[in-house]
Structure 1
Amino acid sequence: MNKYETLFILNPSLEEEAINANVEKFKGIVENGGGEVENVDLWGKRKLAYEINKLNEGFYVLMNFKSDAQLPKELDRVFRITDNIVRHLIINTEK
């Protein structure tokens, strides 16, 4: 099991319920894929460094998890097809 960290930015116009639903969705993908979520940190709305898709703000979420090497690929695929994700990044923290 490797340690990973993912930071994803959600659309800031989402309500709190929708934000929590998205966070739970991604936690579920990790847990159902055989991984273990260690920490989820909701950073809240922050100004983006540059405009993305006509947005100047985003809701930042940091999630640390352990999994095998295949799970981040699946998580990346789901991030790409989710409309409410503005940007995402998954890194291996053990290297």
Structure 2
Amino acid sequence: MLAARTSSLRRTAAPTPRRRSARAVRVSAAAPATLGEVVDPRTGYPRAAKKYETVIILKADTLDDEVQEEMDKLESFINSEGAIECSVMNRGRQRMAYPIKEQWEGIYVMVNFVSMPRVPKALQDMLSAPVVGGDEKNIVRYMTIKYDLPKVNEA
């Protein structure tokens, strides 16, 4: 009886394959060329843009003029790479949880910026590059963190 049921449930003919129809794609002249140019109405920034925070630890014996020079260099580099917003803050001298290169203290610099994903990669390449010309590098450590952009409240 079971064999009779299964045989009656089988199809007699093989199913015909479905034809895929070719769809025409319309592209308007005003359409953005890349995803980065599409503005997200919830955030007000391009959809591909993200918020990043980079913390840089400089040597504790770095002079104030050199710290300001490093901060200006960072801000100009990030803006030249195409950041939408950028702010650089000197957080001052702080004690670290563990020694780095036999130093217990460092000068913390915090950089907040909104940009496309290529900017943090370029910043990492710039910070990790060895110094040419024999000058000693002031940067001890750095770290970049990605955040979600806050949503704009519509009233």
User: Do they superpose with TM above 0.5?
Assistant: yes
Structure of greater Rg? 2
Cα offset, 1:85, TM superposition: 0.9
Contact 1:37–1:63 (CA<8 Å) still a contact in 2? no
1:21 and 2:75 aligned: no
> What's 2:124 paired with?
76
**Structure showing the higher strand proportion among its residues:** 1
User: Secondary structure, in 3 states, of the residue corresponding to 2:73?
Assistant: helix
> What's 1:45 paired with?
93
| 1:53-94 Cα shifts (integer Å, max 9, x gaps) | 111110001111011111101101111126211111111111
Normalising by structure 1, what TM-score? Answer: 0.91
| 1:25-57 Cα shifts (integer Å, max 9, x gaps) | 111111000113443221100011111111111
Contact 2:79–2:86 (CA<8 Å) still a contact in 1? no
Normalising by structure 2, what TM-score? Answer: 0.58
* Matches of 1:92 and 1:67, distance apart in 2: 10
* Matches of 2:138 and 2:109, distance apart in 1: 13
User: Secondary structure, in 3 states, of the residue corresponding to 2:77?
Assistant: helix
Please, which runs of 5 or more residues in structure 1 have no aligned partner? Answer: none
**Structure showing the higher helix proportion among its residues:** 1
Which 4+ stretches in 1 moved above 4 angstroms? none
User: Secondary structure, in 3 states, of the residue corresponding to 2:82?
Assistant: coil
Identity of aligned residues (%): 29
Equivalent residue pairs, number: 95
Please, which runs of 5 or more residues in structure 2 have no aligned partner? Answer: 1-48, 132-136, 150-155
> What's 1:91 paired with?
145
1:31 and 2:85 aligned: no
